[in-house]
């Protein structure tokens, strides 16, 4: 696809995709109580590339799980467009994940018994308006490896299949939990390029969780998390291409 075909949403003025207020998630009770999220206020907008930074246990992953409809908050408000995710049923959450969310995990989570093409095809079969598996894999540069099983792919290739799987349904939201955590720098950059391209070409709100502060430079907005709260956030004037990143 021609990168210039769709203009990158350089400035984020689009409508809010997620509207989060006073979001709290408490695990356990009494002395064992853990406040994983402690009153998060946040708005995430269409087409944004957001990097969530923070130390281990700061609540990043918990927030991502709430956003992705994998878990329900204890209190607070969480809206996706017009939908109130706080009070959604399991079936509604499944429907939401199926139609609107693409997930990318640190450990790829591919189905080992399906080839790259089939892993993507699994999703395109059930999605409303998907691209073809071939298109999705082309976007991540894996056309040549489409019929390989996960065991026959490198870590970076596996993660790119995971990205293809996530974007094939043209989701509105892409949620990535340490997508380069298990990869070396060179491979990591290839994966980030694929993410960046998806964000730019499809206009998908992309939220990336990472420990890696270097990645902040490629974002529109950087949110620092600590103790279950938004500690600070800033916007980058320009997004740095992933290829120039080093860590």
Partner 1 sequence: MLPYLDRKLFRDLRRLAGQAAAVSLVMACGLAMLIMARSLIYSLESTRAEYYQTNHFAEVFDALKRAPNYLIDRIREIPGVAAAQTDLSVPVTLDLPGISEPSSGLVRSLPDFGEPELNRLFLRRGSWLPPGSRGNILVSEAFAKANSLNPGDPLTVLLNGRRQTFRISGIVLSPEYIFESRPGAALPDNRTFGIFWMPYKEVATAWDLYGAFNHLSLTLAPGANERPVIAALDRLLLPYGGLGSFGRKDHPSHIRVSDEIRVLTLLSIGFPTVFLGVAAFMTNAVLSRLLSLQREQIAILKAFGFTNRQIVFHYLKFAFVMVTAGLLAGLIGGIALGHKLVIMYELFFRFPNLHFRLDPVAVAIALTVGLSVITLGVISAVRKAANLPPADAMRPEPPANFRPSFIERLGLKQLLSHSFRIAMRNLERRPMQAVFTVAGLALATALLILPNSFKAGIREILEFQWDVVQRQDINLGLVEPSSARIANELAQLPGVLSMEPARTAAVRIHFQGRSRQIAMRSLLPGGRHSRAVDARGHEISPPDNGVILSAKLAQVLGAKIGDTVIIEALEGRRLVKPFTLVATAEDFTGIAAYMEMHAINRFLGEGDVITGASIGLDMSRRAEFLAALKEIPRVSTVAIKETMRQSFRQTTAASMGLIQTIYLTFAVIVAFGVIYNNARISLAERSRELATLRVIGMTRREVGAVLVIELVILACIAVPIGLLLGTGLTTIVVHSINTETIRLPLVFTTYTYSFAVVTVAIASTLSALFVLRQLNQIDLIAALKAPE
Query: Footprint of partner 1 on this chain (CB under 8 A)?
Result: 65, 68, 70-71, 90-91, 94-95, 97-99, 101-103, 105-107, 109-114, 118, 121-123, 125-127, 149-152, 158, 165-166, 169, 177
- Among 26, 42, 34, smallest CA distance to 230 is for 42
Q: Token pair for residue 14? A: 């689009």
Task: For the sheet with 173-177, list strands across it.
Answer: 101-104, 173-177, 205-210, 49-53, 221-226, 229-235
Only one residue has tokens 């499809």, namely: 202
- Among 105, 94, 86, 115, smallest CA distance to 174 is for 105
**Between 48 and 178, CB nearer to partner 1:** 178
Helices (H), the chain: 60-67, 90-100, 116-124, 133-139, 155-167, 185-202
* Span between the terminal Cα atoms of the chain, in Å: 29
- How many Cα atoms within 13 Å fall on the side-chain side of residue 191? 30
**Between 101 and 222, CB nearer to partner 1:** 101
Residue 184: Cβ within 10 Å count: 10
Q: Least CB distance from residue 2 to partner 1, whole Å?
A: 29
**Between 154 and 232, CB nearer to partner 1:** 154
**Between 202 and 219, CB nearer to partner 1:** 202
Q: Least CB distance from residue 14 to partner 1, whole Å?
A: 24
Q: Least CB distance from residue 141 to partner 1, whole Å?
A: 20
Q: Least CB distance from residue 70 to partner 1, whole Å?
A: 5
**Between 117 and 221, CB nearer to partner 1:** 117
**Between 225 and 245, CB nearer to partner 1:** 225
Q: Least CB distance from residue 19 to partner 1, whole Å?
A: 22
- Strand-pair partners of 45: 16
Only one residue has tokens 């509207």, namely: 19
Q: Least CB distance from residue 106 to partner 1, whole Å?
A: 8
């Amino acid at each position: 696809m021609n990168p210039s075909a769709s203009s990158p949403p350089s400035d984020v003025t689009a409508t809010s995709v997620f509207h989060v207020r006073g979001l709290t998630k408490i695990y356990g009770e009494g002395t064992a109580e853990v406040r994983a999220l402690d009153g998060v206020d946040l708005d995430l907008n269409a087409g944004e590339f957001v990097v969530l930074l923070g130390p281990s246990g700061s609540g990043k992953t918990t927030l991502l799980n709430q956003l992705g409809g994998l878990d329900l908050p204890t209190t607070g408000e969480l809206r996706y467009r017009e939908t109130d995710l706080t009070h959604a049923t399991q079936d509604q959450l499944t429907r939401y994940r199926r139609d609107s969310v693409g997930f990318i995990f640190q450990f790829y989570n591919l189905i080992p018994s399906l080839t790259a093409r089939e892993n993507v095809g699994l999703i395109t079969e059930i999605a409303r308006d998907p691209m073809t598996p071939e298109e999705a894999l082309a976007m991540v540069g894996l056309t040549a490896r489409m019929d390989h099983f996960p065991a026959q792919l490198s870590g970076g290739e596996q993660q790119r299949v995971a990205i293809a799987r996530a974007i094939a349904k043209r989701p509105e939201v892409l949620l990535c939990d340490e997508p380069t955590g298990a990869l070396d720098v060179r491979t990591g950059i290839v994966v980030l390029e694929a993410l960046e391209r998806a964000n730019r070409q499809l206009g998908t709100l992309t939220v990336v969780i990472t420990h890696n502060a270097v990645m902040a430079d490629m974002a529109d907005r950087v949110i620092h998390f600590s103790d279950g709260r938004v500690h600070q956030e800033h916007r980058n004037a320009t997004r740095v291409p992933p290829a120039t990143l080093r860590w």
